Structure 1
């Protein structure tokens, strides 16, 4: 989340440093999403055939290295976009696979709650980003070090490597998914991991584990190769999984198109909004007026940079506003984690997403900036529904195709984010109201689609009758 979303803060202050147009800012904002989108199936194939941990671990170390390079050696649009794209490709390895990894560490009763609690990291990101931005990006200093120009936004980008590096180090001490081991290698290594989990959780010795043998491993699928990957894709395209794939992927596309795209532009939007806070004007009117004056015609918008380009310091109120939004998002994840134990996950998803999308649409049109900020902040919390959708989806896919299904699911999500981020860039030159209405209607359509979600128990029974393991 740090690698894909924090770039919005950088683009607000680094546009002059990198000589960026508003369209180039939109492309860089979406570069990591495009990278994740481009490689999702590849990482899903690898993690389903070689292991969740075995794929995530090296990718995390490599993404950290590439992220540091993008912060240090980018001096124009081409270098920044390329390095952010490669970083996104590497981040893709864990961005969806981690949900399969978490889900396979828990039983059916606790799986959704575990995923939602783990997803509070997304809300924490929304808190940490503005704090770091407030501390680092408020400065106007710069200096030369070994021939490199060091400025606040580069230091800010360096901090993004900390979560990835920390995750990689922690993952060194975690075992492979026992569910993956059981389905792909056999019961013995799975039993070893389960006994290790038992010893740590219960504070007992591993030889006290009451299970001595696993006998329900109906099928061991130690198969590899692109033929297997192709067959897995075919399984996802056949009933009863096909219906689940179509519904979940369309829903994830719309959630990311609305939420992640608007979040990456949030610093820009709030910066301009707070500088016009006293006027009775809507977000759309402010942004269209700002970018039209900055770039008088669409050709200039896409091909040239404004000659009068002053280094920007983000308005000081942007940071506390984003922190409040992060707190609300974290509270939303925790609340959902408790609620899904008793309520229907699908009904709760529909309510949260429906209400938040209406708030976002109203925030863009209402001519009361203080109210618009409040509605926008609450509306962006709709991002919590992405993890809730993952919890809904993970229940219906067998172990052998689960990571692939989740990776393609998040590929559609990142595609939505990339499309949305660039649409926002174009919309700020014109048709801003139309963009928000499209997002709202798309969200309404996804809510209606999820009503058609099949019974998970029936899907599992059908797949198990064909030899698949859960």
Structure 2
């Protein structure tokens, strides 16, 4: 999630040339009064549509969408303590369940990118969230770990598109005056969504529900998974009420549909008739080389003058070039695999790989560790002073092995001890993450991307290895909260730094590839972590610390200059 939010935080870009600097760092211009009869470019038309009821309703619809994306990647980490008896989970099974969603996301990245550029943002959001609803409900009805893994894989496959496109869609439906503010609001939405998940877990997972429906057995953890499908279901029902992104429509030459979208927004925002929208003609924003090959008549509105086409400014952060097929996508990739960007792009991929391997591994295993802490303290009579992290890891490994043996032995009983207190610590860590996201934009602008990234990764590495000396539940929660906070800010800074290192034409592709490598790191980290738990107390936390420290060193040598602190 942090990697998606980072694309929308305020960015400080290095000076490359006067033209690009003026485009990116100049404040949003105050929209001029519309002139009737002139072909309007996208920015002029979106400013004329105004800000009001439409935008408020859109943000309301974005709330369940943000919750759905968070739930898809984080739900498994909360059910592991409850489902280990029903699903006969080993430590490796738990790691795969945490990681399998990222495998689905990686495998579908190219498919969803092509779909978004050819079919539209709105259709992707509708079908993506509808498909995710089916996958989540399928996981809720799973009767074995293999079935659950299959549905979680396809859930990640389906969610990869909406996860990336949601921000793009919201950005393209707001003018430049409100765009940055909206992105900060959406970032807070994602953070609040992370708070609701442990809240749901505290309410549902401690229940002793055991419902038999024909041959299906439904327990509390399955009910919990089923409830997490509601945000995706609601999103698939709400987005059909909104128009397609007019930016996408104009980039495909569908100006008539784009004009109708602007008129719809205008009517809701101003309470005036659609016909009173100040512009009747939109500028042609289809690139000339693509327009030559178009044989069908998608552009239904005429262009009144050739000057309207050439003079129309296109926002470099939002420009969407109409893709003609796979060859266009490959041609866009080519500069990243040749000099002078090859070495720098590989550096950025490896950096994000290290950061998200450490961040998402720790984040997704914390619910299991906190559940083990709670159960261990119940056994020792609440003597928290003896709750060192090494004791907890040893207890968790032995507990999982004994539970697995109890499931296979008909004379033994496999019991699950889950209470509301099991998830209290998760609420504390989630609240720390919320504070991190609220501070991220301010801190990045204050001290510079490179400095905050380097310091944050160093602190996270120290927190990870410092877990070894944690001797109580309180200190474990404090160190984990600091790790998640520093890791979240560092992850957002990595994306902000990467877009500053590449020209505008390569930013979308570099962020997509960077996210893919980050998800690969998340996948591998969640598989290696349980394997290292079997080796002892130090190896799993040393692994996380090693990758965070490696990221810190790589960030320190990025060719990125920090700007002076704001006064």
Q: In the aligned structure 1, how far is the partner of 2:119 from the partner of 2:464? A: 42
Counterpart contact for 1:117–1:337, Cα < 8 Å:
no
Query: How many Å apart are 1:140 and its aligned residue?
Result: 1.5
Secondary structure of 1:119's match?
helix
Instruction: State the partner residue of 1:413.
Output: 518
- In the TM superposition, what are the counterparts of 1:387-398 in structure 2 within 5 Å? 387-393=492-498
| Farther off after superposition, 74-83 or 228-237 | 228-237
My pick for the range that moved more, 385-394 or 329-338, is: 385-394
Q: Which residue of 2 aligns with 1:348?
A: 452
Indicate the RMSD between aligned Cα atoms, in angstroms. 3.5
CA distance in 2 between counterparts of 1:63 and 1:110 reads 30
Any conservation in 2 of the 1:40–1:93 contact (CA below 8 Å)? yes
Aligned CA distance change for structure 1 residues 137 and 448 (closer, same or farther; 3 Å): same
Note the C-alpha offset of 1:425.
0.9
1:309 Cα offset (Å): 5.4
CA contact (8 A) 1:23 1:422 kept: yes
Question: For residues 304 and 144 of structure 1, do their structure 2 counterparts lie closer, same or farther at Cα, with a shift above 3 Å needed?
Answer: closer
CA shift for structure 1 position 310: 2.1
Partner of 1:12: 81
Contact 2:453 2:494 survives alignment (8 Å): yes
Equivalents in 2 of 1:199, 1:449: separation in Å? 51
Q: Contact 2:253/2:284 (CA < 8 Å) preserved in 1?
A: no
Q: Is 2:544 the counterpart of 1:444?
A: no
Q: Is the 8 A contact 2:253 2:286 kept in 1?
A: no
Change (3 A) 1:154 1:294: closer
Deviation at 1:350, TM superposition (A): 3.7
Instruction: Check conservation: 1:117, 1:333, Cα contact below 8 A.
Output: no
Residue equivalent to 2:90: 21
Deviation at residue 178 of structure 1 after TM alignment: 4.0
Q: Does 2:191 match 1:86?
A: no
How big is each residue's C-alpha offset from its partner over 1:85-142, in whole Å with a ceiling of 9 and x where there is no partner? 1111111112223333344455778656544432333322321111111111111220
- Comparing 14-23 and 115-124, the one that deviates more: 115-124
Distance 1:140 1:45, change over 3 A: same
Among candidates 157, 164, 168, match of residue 225 of structure 2: 157
The 1:210/1:446 distance shift into structure 2, 3 A limit, reads farther
Match of 2:208 among 140, 159, 168: 140
1:222 corresponds in structure 2 to 322
Deviation at 1:341, TM superposition (A): 5.8
Deviations 1:139-169 (A, max 9, x none): 1220212332111111000011112122223
Q: Does 218-227 or 160-169 show the bigger shift?
A: 218-227
Query: 1: CA distance between counterparts of 2:554 and 2:271?
Result: 45
Q: Displacement of 1:414 after TM fit? A: 1.9
TM-score (norm 1): 0.82
Runs of at least 5 residues in structure 1 that lack an aligned partner in the other structure:
457-470
| Equivalent residues in 2 for 1:377-392, closer than 5 Å | 377-381=481-485, 382-392=487-497
Match of 1:64 among 109, 133, 142: 133
Deviation at 1:175, TM superposition (A): 3.4
Give me the whole-angstrom Cα distance separating, in 2, the residues matched to 1:327 and 1:412: 27
Q: 2:103 aligns with which of 34, 56, 61?
A: 34
Counterpart in the other structure of 1:462:
none
CA distance in 2, matches of 1:52, 1:388: 26
Distance 1:418 1:247 in 2: 20
Distance change (3 Å), C-alpha of 1:285 and 1:204:
farther
What residue in structure 1 maps to residue 435 of structure 2? 331
Contact 1:113 1:341 in 2 (8 A): no
Q: What's the counterpart of residue 62 of structure 2?
A: none
TM normalised by structure 2 equals 0.70
CA distance in 2, matches of 1:170, 1:344: 39
Check 1:163–1:353 CA distance in 2 against 1; reply closer, same or farther (3 A cut): farther
Higher mean Cα deviation, 79-88 or 276-285? 276-285
**Aligned partner (choices 421, 437, 440) of residue 317 of structure 1:** 421
1:368 aligned residue: 472
User: 1:287, CA displacement in angstroms?
Assistant: 0.5
Shift in alpha-carbon separation, 1:378–1:196, aligned structure 2, 3 A: farther
Deviation, 1:13, is 0.8
* Residue number in structure 2 paired with 1:284: 390
Question: What is aligned with 2:116?
Answer: 47
| Counterpart residue number, 1:434 | 539
Instruction: Tell me which residue corresponds to 2:187.
Output: 119
Q: Rg: which structure is higher?
A: 2
Q: Which moved more, 1:334-343 or 1:143-152?
A: 334-343
Q: Does 1:255 align with 2:355?
A: yes
Paired with 2:556 and 2:174, the residues of 1 have a C-alpha distance of 26
CA contact (8 A) 1:349 1:388 kept: yes
List per-residue Cα deviations over 1:199-240 (Å, max 9, x = no partner).
655666664457965477665643332222222322443456
Residues 279, 339 of structure 1: alpha-carbon distance in 2 compared, 3 angstrom cutoff: closer
Q: Secondary structure at the match of 1:143?
A: strand
With over 3 angstroms needed to count, the CA separation of the structure-2 counterparts of 1:57 and 1:452, relative to structure 1, is: farther
Range that drifts further, 323-332 or 85-94 = 323-332
The alpha carbon displacement at 1:374 in A equals 1.3
- 1: CA distance between counterparts of 2:557 and 2:258? 36
Q: Structure 1 residues 341 and 380 mapped into 2: Cα distance closer, same or farther (>3 Å)?
A: closer
Change (3 A) 1:154 1:128: same
Counterparts of 1:31 and 1:65 in 2: how far apart (Å)?
Answer: 17
Deviation per CA, 1:361-405, whole angstroms, max 9, x where unpaired?
A: 313432233212111123123235444544555677788876554
**Structure 2: segments with no counterpart, 5+ residues:** 1-69, 291-320, 378-382, 562-567
Decide whether the 8 Å contact of 1:100 with 1:402 is kept in 2.
no
